[in-house]
């Protein structure tokens, strides 16, 4: 039962954050028009970001969200590798769902424009979604449902 509640919470959290990002970025994804620093090319970006640039915006947002997911450890003063796995799984699921919802709720995109030809910052696709979704969704689920 807890897993279902946790997944439901992740979906709601992802929706809210997608709404925030649509307000911040508009129709220009991956912080394209934000006044932030960018690292365009690095081998680690190929591994962890699917070849997308690292921006100051993303660095701070990723840091904030991963700390947010760790709040229960600080609040309850308990940590275990099993709980950490769930946190990392939740973090992964959160970002996949949030990214997808960004397109669904963005007035400049919608589900009809969730295609490679409209989304240059997701260069690698398999079937109907970016390859990262296919790779990391099962990993995130496995970590949550261990």
pTM: 0.90
Per-position pLDDT tens, the chain of length 146: 667 898 999 999 999 999 999 999 998 888 999 999 999 999 988 888 878 899 999 999 999 999 999 998 988 888 899 899 999 999 999 999 999 999 999 999 999 999 999 998 888 899 999 999 999 999 999 999 88
40 is written with which tokens? Answer: 């365009």
Structure tokens at 94: 């959160």
- Residue boundaries of the structural domains of the chain: 2-144
Per-residue burial over 102-138, b if 16 or more Cβ lie within 10 Å, else e, is bbeebeebeeeebeeeebeebeebeeebbebbeebee
């Amino acid at each position: 039962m807890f897993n279902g509640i946790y997944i439901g919470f992740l979906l709601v959290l992802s929706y809210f954050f997608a709404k925030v990002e649509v307000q911040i970025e508009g129709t220009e994804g991956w912080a394209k028009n934000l006044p932030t620093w960018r690292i365009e090319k690095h081998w680690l970006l190929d591994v962890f970001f699917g070849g997308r640039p690292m921006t100051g915006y993303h660095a701070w947002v990723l840091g904030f969200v991963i700390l947010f997911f760790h709040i229960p450890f600080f609040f309850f003063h308990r940590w275990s590798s099993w709980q950490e796995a769930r946190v990392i799984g939740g973090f992964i699921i959160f970002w996949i769902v949030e990214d997808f919802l960004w397109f669904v709720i963005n007035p400049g995109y919608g589900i009809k424009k969730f295609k490679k030809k409209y989304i240059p910052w997701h260069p690698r696709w398999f079937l109907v979604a970016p390859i990262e979704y296919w790779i990391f969704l099962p990993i995130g689920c496995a970590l949550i449902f261990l």
